[in-house]
Amino acid sequence: MIGILIISHSAAIARGVKELADQMAKGHVRIAAAGGTHDGGLGTSADLIVAAIEELRGVAAVLALVDMGSAVMSAEMALELSEVTFLISGAPLVEGALVAAVEALRPEATLAQVAAAAVRALEAKGVEPLPVLPSAEALVAPVLSGAITEVVLTVHNLVGLHMRPAKEFVQAAARFASTVRVCNLDRPDRAEGNAKSMIEVMKLGVTSGQRIRVRATGDDASAVVAALSKLVAENFGEA
């Protein structure tokens, strides 16, 4: 499992971002926060960050998100002292932490994958990130095999595929081996996306009453389409 470390110059901000990320992860991802100085002032403290890292003891690696560049030095010092495998992300603190928490829910998620998802967090707002060199995995085209199953669904829950329903949709799709693509039929300006990617699902901009097309390719294509259809039909558990 990948742990997430949130570092801010403000203790209140660090706690608030952790609270949001914890709500997305529902206790299934280890998340710790460190903010401010020992005397409660604004700044960062390597000692407080070390204490937060101790809360993540036992994870495979740690992704650290910081609010400003001056926090990087304290973060590096604390993480190196802790001797854990880590990456310090340049992703936006709030959006990056939320997306990283969702990506880290996947048991097989690697540190690089969680970090890459965090960096793309602003895409959901229509803001493109700086270009990143592709990983070796990304250069290998997937080989698709098996049946193709697709369905058109109408999203009826009040606010469409916002953060929580999008997370439920992505997690449901990720439980299956098939490749799953989704598009917003009522927003042809939005590109088709990977149904297992939080960012790509949210970029569809699906609102209540809009139709999505789900297309799955693989041996369990029918099963994943059925699961997603049920999720949408039940309004993602919303009233």
Q: Using an 8 Å Cβ cutoff, are 86 and 76 in contact?
A: no
Q: Using an 8 Å Cβ cutoff, are 83 and 50 in contact?
A: no
d(CA 10, CA 30): 21
Active-site residue (options: 9, 38, 156, 162): 9
Name the burial class of residue 150, with classes exposed (0-12), middle (13-18) and buried (19+) by CB atoms within 10 angstroms of its CB: middle
Q: Establish whether 9 is a catalytic residue.
A: yes
**Coil, helix or strand for 197?**
coil
Dihedral of alpha carbons 223, 224, 229, 235, sign:
positive
**Which residues lie across from 2 on neighbouring strands?**
61
d(CA 182, CA 46): 44
For the chain, the farthest-separated pair of C-alpha atoms sits apart, in whole angstroms, at: 61
Tokens of 98: 């939320």
Catalytic residues: 9
